[in-house]
Amino acid sequence: MKRRKFLNQTASSLALLMLPISRSALSDSQQRAGDPQRHPAPRNNSKIKQRDSDALITLFLCGDVMTGRAIDQILPYPGNPEIFESYLKDARMYVELAERTTGPIAKPVSFDYIWGDALAEFERFSPDLRIINLETSITRSNDVWQGKGINYRMNPRNIPCLTAAGIDGCTLANNHVLDWGFAGLEETLTTLEQANLKFAGAGREVEQARAPAVFTLPGKRRVLLFSYGHISSGVPYNWQATETQAGINVLYDLSVDTLNQVRRQIAPMRRDNDVVIASMHWGSNWGYRIPTEQKRFARGLIDQAGIDIVHGHSSHHPKGIEIYHNRPIIYGCGDFLNDYEGISGHEEYRGDLGLMYFITIDARSGELTRFELVPTQIRNFRVNRASAGDAQWLADMLDWQGRELQTRVQMNADGVLQLFSA
């Protein structure tokens, strides 16, 4: 995701570090988030649904998970805090900014701390796979990518923060995985491999970067995860993996030729009855408008490349969702976990709010059978269930966005949203 405006917003936010923060200075939504009475009551521990057969596959998807920089500093093994941003040179300053905004964090936190209320949702929904867009380098490398402005890294010793949540796979074709150079990418890939975490979208050469992560589910068919990073998200042109250079799977445009190229790459890898996900890091950080070229490309992935789920991310906030030929297109998941607390700007988009996407697919046809969303809020560098009011805000936003995309949502009594074709 692009961070240019972020630098200017950070400058104004740093004044908070010099001022006491009172509860009266917090927004109404921030106060509600700290009040447990405003959260929907937790459901019992029974499964969300009874699976009719092994033909149903439930996937958890989310947007950007940014465990580097400040979040790395609160984990058990904080790495080198040095950063090379215009206004800050120490990642711990972001921790201080967040604490002055939303309260103290008892450091070091446990590895599972950052997932917060999401852990209970994993238990209740019991997804077959848990897939995230991991937007950080996992490395001790000091080889910062020059001129990039924002560089994320997490100490490899903190990799248990991913395994603690039972994450199965990570998409890596984004604009932060190479923040600390080719040495940083190599250590990222090695760390994920040693932790038995599958990944897609990055590699030591182009063939690995283009290859899918392949998940074989017991008694069920395979799930293939392809990952692509489009330059509209801030991916540098020269991050493309080649036959002789490590890198990521870059898309330079969303043309018909590029769609055909993607189709040709997928065709020899898929088998009959595979469920295929195309994970797209694309678009700007802010704004609800979905470019026509994204819609055309996403629908083309379904029509021509046989994609069953389009998993879009890069936007800091959730965007509209489409159901096209009974297959979901998520144009922008929104951030799931970041270290932006206390940074001002774009408050109207409620970037602190996110969603857990639980998608159930019929493995026999690849078609959608159920789409549920759990509203969340980032607070104290952890994922929390959103308040009833904030969940309704997200529902209203998705309904508004869904008018053009022919989708609507319904909120259940426990605050979980269900998506339908309009």
**302: region left, alpha or beta (phi > 0 left; psi from -120 to 50 alpha):** alpha
**Do the beta carbons of residue 227 and residue 241 sit within 8 Å?**
no
DSSP symbols for 310-329? EEEE--SS---EEEETTEEE
CA distance 122 to 240: 34
Q: In a 10 Å sphere around its CB, with 0-12 CB exposed, 13-18 middle and 19+ buried, how is residue 326 labelled?
A: middle
How many Å apart are CA 204 and CA 73, to the nearest integer? 28
Query: What letters, b where the CB count within 10 A reaches 16 and e where it falls short, cover 9-35?
Result: ebeebeebeeeebeeeebeebbebbee
> How would CATH label the architecture of 49-421?
4-Layer Sandwich (3.60)
Rounded CA separation 267/208 (Å): 16
Query: Which pair of structure tokens corresponds to residue 40?
Result: 């929907």
- Cβ-Cβ contacts under 8 Å for 283 (sequence gap 6 or more): 230, 232, 233, 291, 294, 312, 314, 315, 331, 332
DSSP H or E stretch at residue 163: helix 160-163
Q: What does the pLDDT profile of the chain (422 residues) look like in tens digits?
A: 444 444 445 544 544 444 433 333 333 333 333 333 333 434 443 444 444 567 899 999 999 999 999 999 999 999 999 999 998 999 999 999 999 999 999 999 999 999 999 999 999 999 999 999 999 999 999 999 998 989 999 999 999 999 999 999 999 999 999 999 999 999 999 999 999 999 999 999 999 999 999 999 987 789 999 999 999 999 999 999 999 999 999 999 999 999 999 999 999 999 988 999 999 999 999 999 999 999 999 999 999 999 999 999 999 999 999 999 999 999 999 999 999 999 999 999 999 999 999 999 998 899 999 999 999 999 999 999 999 999 999 999 999 999 999 999 999 999 999 999 98
Phi (first) and psi of residue 134, to 5 degrees = -85, 110
Q: Which of 165, 221, 173 is nearest to 199 (CA)?
A: 173
Please give the Cα distance from 315 to 321 (Å, whole number): 13
* Pair of tokens at residue 341: 């607390």
* Distances 4 to 85, 149, 234 between C-alpha atoms, Å: 11, 8, 10
What the block records as the tokens of 351 is 């970037």
Rounded to whole angstroms, what are the CA distances from 302 to 238, 291, 293?
28, 17, 14
DSSP letter at 111 equals T
Asked if residue 270 lies in contact with residue 224, where contact means CB atoms within 8 angstroms, the answer is yes
Instruction: Quote the DSSP letter at residue 115.
Output: G
* Degrees to nearest 5, angle at CA 353 with 347 and 358: 150
